[in-house]
């Protein structure tokens, strides 16, 4: 388990989660999943297990946010949708307790 993880979760007929160690791999998986018509939604949950991982993800401010509630499981949730032209739309939803 890494200190900074990206959990890609699809919602559709089946709910599955895959864990990646970098955002680029997670983004590629989200695009792949969104090309399936049975998939309604894909989230990338950014999980930070340590203060240093939070700083790595989002700088000093993210570290401060981590310190406010280190038990929160998801530092940031990103809702992913695929636009008609095939580009990925990312909507940051913030921290999930």
| Per-residue confidence in pLDDT tens, the chain, 97 aa | 689 999 999 877 777 889 999 999 999 999 999 888 888 789 999 999 999 999 999 899 989 989 988 887 788 999 998 877 878 888 888 776 6
Tokens of 2: 């890494």
Tell me the pTM: 0.85
Closest CA to 16 of 1, 35, 30: 30
Residue 19, pLDDT score: 95
pLDDT of residue 14: 74
pLDDT at 1: 65
Name the 3-class secondary structure at 52. helix
Q: Which residues contact 20 (CB under 8 A, 6 or more apart)?
A: 5, 6, 7, 8, 26, 29
């Amino acid at each position: 388990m890494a200190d900074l993880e990206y959990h890609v979760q699809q919602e559709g007929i089946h709910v599955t989660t895959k864990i990646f160690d970098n955002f680029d791999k997670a983004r590629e998986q989200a695009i792949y999943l969104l090309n399936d018509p049975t998939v309604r939604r894909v989230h990338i949950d950014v999980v930070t297990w340590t203060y240093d991982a939070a700083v790595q993800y989002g700088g000093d401010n993210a570290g401060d946010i981590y310190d406010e509630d280190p038990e929160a499981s998801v530092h940031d949730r990103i809702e992913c949708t695929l636009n008609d032209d095939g580009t990925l739309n990312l909507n940051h939803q913030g921290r999930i307790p």
